[in-house]
Amino acid sequence: MKLTSFEVNGKATYGVVEGEHVIDLLSLSESCSKGLPQSVQQGIESGEEFLREAAELLKIARSENASASHIYSLEEINWLPPIPFVKRNIMCVGKNYREHAIEMGSEKDIPENIMIFTKATTTVTGHEQKVPVHDKVTSELDYEGELAVVIGRQGKGITPDEAMNHVFGYTIVNDLTARDLQKKHGQFFIGKSLDSTCPIGPYIVTKDEIDTPQLLTIKTWINGEVRQSSSTDLMIFKIPDIISTLSKGMTLEPGDIIATGTPAGVGKGFNPPRFLKAGDLVEIEVEGIGILTNQLQ
């Protein structure tokens, strides 16, 4: 199931993407008096019951007698982040691909332990939304294509063996970063948290549709040129270990988003560096999920 949030006819709603169309689950639920949660976040918090109810509504939507008033072409909608209002910072893993760690410094930069930082909630924006280059505060805005994990079940002290039971699904994140601010301030938060520098989407793919999240191709294009091309099996720290480490002293909550790191090929890794500028088109594809597209302005 590909869950997303969107606007249509001036109203915010959510639904399921199938092919070139999206089924408005919320309005369909209201017309059927089903009482579906009012947002994707609330749905994730409801657990398996939400997915069962959504599946029943999809059967209705696909039936020959279903009203087309709840189905829209993707061209009719304005994409929102799958979870438009995340409850807390996006959690991110730094230098989780060996070659990326090296391009950012040397082999000495390959971490022995998981490196975690966060991006503010105000960074979140959606698929096909314009992203500011923030040229008044940075001249080194960089891209980072990443697979992201969406937590579905609350947990603390989660073991690696239990970790995948706490996953709701997967999405794509572009961890846009102001490299000069990152260096200037000696930590990641400011350089990682400029407004709208965390595009997420286009949707969350539920975990039942991704059999091997640790074996997915990941690619990033800038203006049609491939800059990043790798596989999630090259992560230094795998998804179960990331979840387990984060949960050791902190309770993970439904709807938490964890970006798992970016492979080699970021702008800073080139000589000379190739940072983003106004007009650049960034496309990030993760196998089995889709393509996240944003243009800089």
| 217 and 265 assigned to the same domain | yes
| 132 and 273 assigned to the same domain | yes
Q: How far apart are CA 2 and CA 203, in angstroms?
A: 6
| Range of the structural domain that residue 35 is part of | 2-79
Within-domain flag for 40: yes
| 10 and 156 assigned to the same domain | no
Find, among 95, 64, 72, the residue nearest to 17 by Cα: 72
Does the pLDDT at position 8 exceed 80?
yes
pLDDT (tens digit per residue) in 156-184: 999 999 999 999 999 999 999 999 999 99
Residues 6+ apart with CB under 8 A from 4: 14, 15, 16, 17, 22, 40, 79, 80, 82, 201, 202, 203, 204
* CATH number assigned to the domain comprising residue 34: 2.30.30.230
| 75 and 99 assigned to the same domain | no
pLDDT (tens digit per residue) in 266-282: 999 999 999 999 999 99
| 219 and 197 assigned to the same domain | yes
| 23 and 123 assigned to the same domain | no
Q: Which strand (E) or helix (H) includes residue 94?
A: strand 90-94
Q: How far apart are CA 187 and CA 114, in angstroms?
A: 16
pLDDT (tens digit per residue) in 31-64: 877 789 999 999 999 999 999 999 999 988 887 5
pLDDT average, residue stretch 86-108? 94
Residue 66: pLDDT band with limits 50, 70, 90 = low
* CATH number assigned to the domain comprising residue 270: 3.90.850.10
pTM across the whole model: 0.96
| 20 and 153 assigned to the same domain | no
Query: How many domains does the chain contain in total?
Result: 2
| 124 and 271 assigned to the same domain | yes
